[in-house]
Structure 1
Amino acid sequence: MATLVLTAVGTVVGGPIGAAIGAVIGNQIDRAIFTPKGAKGPRLDSLAVQGSSYGADLPRLFGTMRASGSVIWATDLRESTHKSGGKGKPATTTYSYSASFAVVLSARPVRTIHRIWADGALLRGAAKDWKTDVGAFRLHTGEDGQAIDPLIAAAEGIDATPAHRGLAYAVFEDLQLADYGNRIPSLSFEVEADDGAVSLTTIAAILSESEVSGAGGPLLGGYAASGDSLRGAIEGLGSALPVAFADGADGLHLVDETAAPLDLPVTEMGAFASGAKPVPRVVIERQAAGTLNEALSIGYYDPALDYQIGSQSARRDVSARRAGAIDLPAAVDASSAQSIVEARLAREWAGRTTARLALPLRHLDIAAGAIVAVPGQNGRWRVTERAFEDMVLTLTVQRLPPATGDAPPASSGSGLSQPDLPHGPTTLALLDLPSLGDDPATAPTLLVAAAGEQAGWRKAALTLSLDDGASWQAIGGTAAPAIIGQAVTVLVSGSSAVRDDANSVDILLLNDAMALASSDATSLSAATNLALLGDELIQFASAEQIGPRLFRLAGLLRGRRGSEWAIGGHAIGDRFVLVDPDALLAWPLPLSAIGRSVRVSANGVGDSAPAEADLTFQARAMRPPAPVALLGTAMPDGSVSVGWTRRSRAGWDWLDDTDVPLAEETERYQILLSRPGGVDRLLTVAEPVATIAPADLDALGGAGPLTITIAQIGTTAASLPPATLTMTSGA
């Protein structure tokens, strides 16, 4: 007589879900919703790359998940031309490119999008703040009443534009491509499809239109279902999660392993057919321990790591001889992943023990998947197979692991997650500095420093006006974020000839990500820890943090690069900028800009209104520094002899017994003579010495001290401010 296999529900879906549900031989639901063993579905590494292939499988998103999506529509690159120059400055034409495109995210409706990454870099934060200019952005959630996108309709025509109802997709309009090599970047999106976590049975029920049911099992933070069948869509989950399915009258359902066990009648066990040999009441079989995993690891998508692959492990002892690995292509937190892998390993070891039982015909109502208690054996057992022959029901049951408490808390470990910091508004600082190198400047140059009030600030677009805002020209983007702050104490006067160890100044920086560091190289380098405080350039050897964003600077070198004229003019609130060439945008200006007001406007993604700064541009890098060591001597014949030491904008080192390079076309000096109540007199000489004749002194008129002001006349402009000597007698 043939054996009738009523149901054979797979091991524990601790093996593939194909073993758990594919073995429902001949069952209608299996034929309807499962394809043969070749079914394909999502794997743990399948969500990383955005695609645009025709006919590509579209995922159906559940929970909150990071998805790459597929480009379903795009325009050609749009080229924009920007021209600058004129008024003595060479004309320059620059080009920028943008693109508009649509990316489908899910083949079922979603609620919203949180973070977005472009080429792996954060493009939008959890607060839905953009990290760079993206033009316009729209999300179509995939609802039944979804309207067509206006941009696509304008490009393709209303009649040729589908509404894509049932598909969730995002549209970027004029995304700037300069940061991505003038191509559409690879995008990925943190998509919230359903409220809260979701279970495997909920996913299967939705995908099968309620032909799969049940409750319980581990909750998943998110899942992207894809594949060529229902089996393909959820097989990756079923092969990883510690659950089992069984066939019932109303379809496939998740076995409730917490149900009260059915007590089997010991007196009826060991049933056998008439005329057959008696059989044992319980036949116990155990799988060899050496074939089991003593350690098991699980890979999963970890939201704490920006949905990168995380790993947790469980082991039975510290010296595992056999180790296995499972992949869970879903988003779960570290503790949930730890609970899953612990349960899987416990299930594997408990399930090594199976029992075969023989019962009379009247117990045919014991279904596959039922939870039973086996007489004489500990624990709970699940029915995995039922066979009926010669009026005898044979059950194969498998031991279940004992219930355990929550797994200990687990850590995601350190990953490559990017800080999600708001961009915040822009702060601008315009600098007109002496030459920062050893070579003299050849053109007037404005330096622009920019940073943000918040640590997430990265960049802003700049425009410049030389006519008090009547017209503006684009000058590109800012350089790297500068270190900007302000003085909260007054830096008092000191000497520029020796290191100032008597004074210090406290600087409050703009945001928490900024810091200043000490250096013992300030006496060896003219650029180490160089900073502009007010109008004075200083160097600091010591930077001590004394509070949040607050640093005390000491060991000062004062009046650097000819700025000794500003030593005595400090006040609370003085602007502080660390002079780092990599954090300064250098923009050339025409000679006609000297002495005029220059305005710069910055517009970043965190600016509700553009930030502006202005200064009167003096082209200090084009001016020789003022002479030093002025000495005036009253001569017996009534004249005054004046001498000084020339300095150069070609290098800032003092050279023994050697004149510094001239760095100008000719050597010339302008001497201004003045006396209270008198008439100023202007002289010009070609060497760093002059004799003021008695006649010139008499021509001044007035009475009181004689003031002698000396400026070197450079190729482009004179020293500013000039050097001054006052003589109270003998002149």
Structure 2
Amino acid sequence: MATLVLTTVGGIFGGPIGAMLGGLVGQTVDRELLFKPRGREGPRLTELALQTSSYGTPIPQLFGTMRVAGSVIWATDLVEHRHREGGKGRPTVTSYSYTASFAVALSARPILSVGRIWADGKLLRGAAGDWKARTGFRLHLGGEDQAVDPLIASAEGIAVAPAHRGIAYAVFEDLELADYGNRIPSLTFEVSADAGPVSAGAVIEQVSRGAVRAGEGGPAIGGFSAYGGSMRGVVEPLAQACGGWPVVAGGQLAIAAGDGAAVTVRDRGAGVRGRERRSIATPDRAVRRVALSHYDPARDYQAGVQIASWGVGQDRELRIELPAALSAQAAKQLAQGALTRTDADRTRRTVVTGWEGLAIMPGARVAIEGESGRWRVVETLVEAEEVQLQLTPIAPPALAGPAVPGRVIGAPDVAQGQTILHAFELPPLADGASSAARVLVAACGDAPGWRKAVLATSIDGGVRWEAAGATVQPAVIGTVASPAGAASAAIEDRRSLLVVDLAHQEMVLSDADPDALAAGGNLALVGEELIQFAHAEPLGGGRWALSGLWRGRRGTEEAIGTGVVGDRFVLIEAATLVTLDGLAGAGATVTIMATGVGDPDAVEAHVLVTGRSITPPAPVALRAERSAEGGCRLRWTRRSRVGWRWSDGADAPLGESVERYQVRLLPSGLPEQLVMTDVPELMLSPGISDPGELTVEVRQAGDHGLSRAAILVLDIEPE
């Protein structure tokens, strides 16, 4: 009907040219706004959350701040990275990892920035711009002068690589895919296209490229995704949700909304019997419930639904899917406003005017002389030299009640932090014996979000590097604030207190009962000493006081009392240690390099290989006894690198192919002597046991080297 009326108006006032222009304007109103064609042209909210890579997929125009998936517009094949572990007597295991490089189109108009990025629903990039997985990243803002991305240019050739001018897109370079099943994950982006909220009117004007004007501006929205195959598919849901309707003003199509300036008309049929017409549709034909779907920024832009209803007769429902970022309260108010307007639209009022009524276009606001309220024109009829304006009341602004956004479990956004790395060689921690020197690596971050780092090793001071996989679970690591001091390794140290500062406050320590300690629990490397602790008391701020100490564990008694402030503290747990076997022999220095997501530069740790991981521990209980013959007999007790558990009535296993000891004798003023023996004792020859000072060093000879020495200094007196 609008086409007929507007064409008539154009013909009256502008002749044939005016009629043509009027027809074009009328067709625009019909096609784009008034009469809804069959089929769906606007976006579903789910479409904006699903990443696509199909040709012909529309790219949304983004306004304000929105979370969108985008479309993959370029990608390379997966790149396979091979890592081999083993060798030197151990089975070789080859593992594979994959990376991918690709580009994702985000907006068909320029943007300002990208904030958080989700991959398969988990944060890939946090609000602070920190990455949760290793990747290169570049953002092209969509300017008309933007350059070709260098990665795309190198892969496709500079002559054929598109710059995608006018399209904002992101490029990922070598994104690690291990956390995503070795495939490109489904990505969503928090995109800011404008500074602050935008008005619905501004969105309509830009989407229509100025063909539709929105003078009143409309309500402010946090963000909007103009997505769809036609202008109508974008404008209609936005105008519908915001209470707008089409009007022709000044020869231009516009969207009007709410109360405003109105043309006053006199109803010639008022008070005339049969001429005053008013009708109200029956309630059973009216919408009784409006459900408005939107994106809620407070819920990480997940879809939310706000419902307004009259409470009864809710079988007639209007559903509005609005791809806009709105708070729950704002969405509730829009839903309530839509419900109020649908109820007001049940009322129709016909006003009879003279020919002056032809100047009042459909959609215009009118005030009826002598009556209150505002009306808008929905239809104009010319009949018997009279103009009849069919009106419907303009509903007052809605007052929304309380809105409940609903619960949401958001992806945790914790900072990755920088890597803290320690490498060391320890005596064997398990009962099995190793045949190659073993270096252990423990790592964590200085923030709770740290998960892992890539490792590499070098035995020539960093000239050449070998890939060594990655770290495993984050270790509990810290530094010594107050060392434990001297004590005995033979009994529990109940006097000393060890105070440590852990890397961050999310790390915790716990108590261990005697059975747990006997099973190896609460074992920590403190400086060069292995210590177990029974009690852990939090002091606040990541500081802990440890007591009930078992000192010098696993043959590290020589380090008791050597600790200083700032020494490393590493809780020894199998799940947090990376084992590197056979990197180098005794005397070599191995450099371990770790690179985590939050590290600006690689982190290095150096360890001197001593062989303590493959040699027996030093003998104990070295003593000298006078023999019945008058000489001096040395005795000692061996220990084993494979038998650390206490078993009543059973000797520790030997752990070596043969039992053999090297005894080094250093008598005062005489040349030293080396003596080999197959039993844990030695009878000193008369010349060696003469009066004077004698230093004795006893080492067990293992399959892979000598143990550290047990040392005894004797002052032999004359008999």
Q: TM-score range by the shorter chain?
A: 0.7 to 0.9
| Local SS of the residue matching 1:169 | strand
Answer yes or no: is 1:340 the counterpart of 2:331.
Answer: yes
Cα pair distance change 1:525/1:48, threshold 3 Å: farther
Task: State the Cα distance separating 1:584 from its structure 2 match.
Answer: 1.8
Give, in whole Å, the separation in 2 of the partners of 1:297 and 1:191.
26
Task: State the Cα distance separating 1:210 from its structure 2 match.
Answer: 1.4
Cα pair distance change 1:369/1:497, threshold 3 Å: farther
Task: State the Cα distance separating 1:263 from its structure 2 match.
Answer: 7.6
Cα pair distance change 1:245/1:512, threshold 3 Å: farther
The C-alpha deviation readout for 1:363-382, integer Å capped at 9, x for no partner, is: 83666555677899997666
Residue pairs, 1:204-283, within 5 angstroms: 204-214=204-214, 215-238=216-239, 241-249=241-249, 250-259=251-260, 270=270, 278=274, 283=279
Task: State the Cα distance separating 1:348 from its structure 2 match.
Answer: 1.6
Q: What letter is aligned with 1:710?
A: V
Task: State the Cα distance separating 1:452 from its structure 2 match.
Answer: 2.6
1:462 paired residue among 455, 463, 479 = 455
Structure 1 equivalent of residue 300 of structure 2: 306
Give, in whole Å, the separation in 2 of the partners of 1:376 and 1:643.
123
Give, in whole Å, the separation in 2 of the partners of 1:519 and 1:260.
79
Q: What letter is aligned with 1:196?
A: G
Structure 2 equivalent of residue 43 of structure 1: 44
Answer yes or no: is 1:626 the counterpart of 2:613.
Answer: no
2:478 paired residue among 461, 475, 485 = 485
The C-alpha deviation readout for 1:595-614, integer Å capped at 9, x for no partner, is: 22222222334333332221
Structure 2 equivalent of residue 515 of structure 1: 508
Structure 1 equivalent of residue 9 of structure 2: none
2:544 paired residue among 530, 546, 551 = 551
| Local SS of the residue matching 1:600 | strand
- Contact residue 424 and residue 457 of structure 1 kept, 8 A: yes
Structure 1 equivalent of residue 140 of structure 2: 140
Task: State the Cα distance separating 1:283 from its structure 2 match.
Answer: 4.7
Task: State the Cα distance separating 1:711 from its structure 2 match.
Answer: 2.7
Cα pair distance change 1:464/1:124, threshold 3 Å: same
Task: State the Cα distance separating 1:399 from its structure 2 match.
Answer: 6.2
Task: State the Cα distance separating 1:344 from its structure 2 match.
Answer: 1.6
Q: What letter is aligned with 1:666?
A: V
Structure 1 equivalent of residue 17 of structure 2: none
Q: What letter is aligned with 1:400?
A: A
Answer yes or no: is 1:571 the counterpart of 2:564.
Answer: yes
2:489 paired residue among 465, 476, 496 = 496
- Contact residue 383 and residue 398 of structure 1 kept, 8 A: no
1:443 paired residue among 436, 441, 458 = 436
Structure 2 equivalent of residue 419 of structure 1: 413
Task: State the Cα distance separating 1:575 from its structure 2 match.
Answer: 0.6
Residue pairs, 1:522-561, within 5 angstroms: 523-524=516-517, 526-561=519-554
- Contact residue 433 and residue 620 of structure 1 kept, 8 A: yes
Answer yes or no: is 1:718 the counterpart of 2:706.
Answer: yes
Task: State the Cα distance separating 1:655 from its structure 2 match.
Answer: 0.7
Cα pair distance change 1:330/1:3, threshold 3 Å: closer
The C-alpha deviation readout for 1:627-658, integer Å capped at 9, x for no partner, is: 33444322343333344433322242111001
Q: What letter is aligned with 1:40?
A: E
Give, in whole Å, the separation in 1 of the partners of 2:109 and 2:411.
28
Q: What letter is aligned with 1:106?
A: S
Task: State the Cα distance separating 1:430 from its structure 2 match.
Answer: 0.8
Give, in whole Å, the separation in 2 of the partners of 1:101 and 1:67.
17
1:660 paired residue among 633, 636, 652 = 652
Larger deviation, residues 671-680 vs 503-512? 671-680
Structure 2 equivalent of residue 292 of structure 1: 288
- Contact residue 542 and residue 554 of structure 1 kept, 8 A: yes
Structure 2 equivalent of residue 102 of structure 1: 103
Structure 1 gap ranges (5+): 8-23
TM-score (norm 2): 0.84
1:400 paired residue among 386, 390, 395 = 395
1:639 paired residue among 622, 625, 631 = 631
Residue pairs, 1:38-187, within 5 angstroms: 38-79=39-80, 97-135=98-136, 137-187=137-187
How many residues align? The count is 694
Larger deviation, residues 561-570 vs 369-378? 369-378
Task: State the Cα distance separating 1:388 from its structure 2 match.
Answer: 5.8
Give, in whole Å, the separation in 1 of the partners of 2:707 and 2:514.
29
Task: State the Cα distance separating 1:577 from its structure 2 match.
Answer: 0.9
Q: What letter is aligned with 2:661?
A: Y
Give, in whole Å, the separation in 2 of the partners of 1:461 and 1:256.
58
The C-alpha deviation readout for 1:148-203, integer Å capped at 9, x for no partner, is: 33443444344433333222223334444455454434333332222222233322
Structure 1 equivalent of residue 427 of structure 2: 434
Give, in whole Å, the separation in 2 of the partners of 1:521 and 1:352.
76
Structure 2 equivalent of residue 197 of structure 1: 197
- Contact residue 63 and residue 198 of structure 1 kept, 8 A: yes
1:617 paired residue among 609, 613, 623 = 609
Give, in whole Å, the separation in 1 of the partners of 2:79 and 2:667.
67
| Local SS of the residue matching 1:27 | helix
Task: State the Cα distance separating 1:312 from its structure 2 match.
Answer: 5.2
The C-alpha deviation readout for 1:415-450, integer Å capped at 9, x for no partner, is: 2323152x4433221121122222222332111122
Q: What letter is aligned with 1:713?
A: A
Task: State the Cα distance separating 1:62 from its structure 2 match.
Answer: 2.0
The C-alpha deviation readout for 1:432-479, integer Å capped at 9, x for no partner, is: 112222222233211112223334433333322222334332223233
- Contact residue 44 and residue 327 of structure 1 kept, 8 A: no
- CA RMSD after TM alignment: 3.9
Task: State the Cα distance separating 1:533 from its structure 2 match.
Answer: 0.8
TM-score (norm 1): 0.83
Q: What letter is aligned with 2:602?
A: P
Structure 2 equivalent of residue 685 of structure 1: 677
- Contact residue 113 and residue 190 of structure 1 kept, 8 A: yes
- Contact residue 29 and residue 251 of structure 1 kept, 8 A: no
Task: State the Cα distance separating 1:297 from its structure 2 match.
Answer: 5.9
Give, in whole Å, the separation in 2 of the partners of 1:302 and 1:245.
26
The C-alpha deviation readout for 1:289-309, integer Å capped at 9, x for no partner, is: 99723xx66543333443333
Cα pair distance change 1:367/1:619, threshold 3 Å: farther
Structure 2 equivalent of residue 12 of structure 1: none
Cα pair distance change 1:550/1:328, threshold 3 Å: farther
Give, in whole Å, the separation in 1 of the partners of 2:217 and 2:620.
86
Give, in whole Å, the separation in 2 of the partners of 1:6 and 1:425.
71
Answer yes or no: is 1:709 the counterpart of 2:697.
Answer: yes
User: Which structure would you say has the larger RCO, counting Cα contacts within 8 Å and 6 or more residues apart?
Assistant: 1
- Contact residue 385 and residue 397 of structure 1 kept, 8 A: no
The C-alpha deviation readout for 1:664-719, integer Å capped at 9, x for no partner, is: 21122233334555543333322334433434323xx7x33x44433322221232
Give, in whole Å, the separation in 1 of the partners of 2:521 and 2:296.
43
Cα pair distance change 1:695/1:455, threshold 3 Å: same
- Contact residue 257 and residue 371 of structure 1 kept, 8 A: no
Cα pair distance change 1:502/1:320, threshold 3 Å: farther
Larger deviation, residues 673-682 vs 542-551? 673-682
Structure 1 equivalent of residue 595 of structure 2: 603
| Local SS of the residue matching 2:534 | strand
- Contact residue 111 and residue 141 of structure 1 kept, 8 A: yes
Give, in whole Å, the separation in 2 of the partners of 1:491 and 1:325.
73
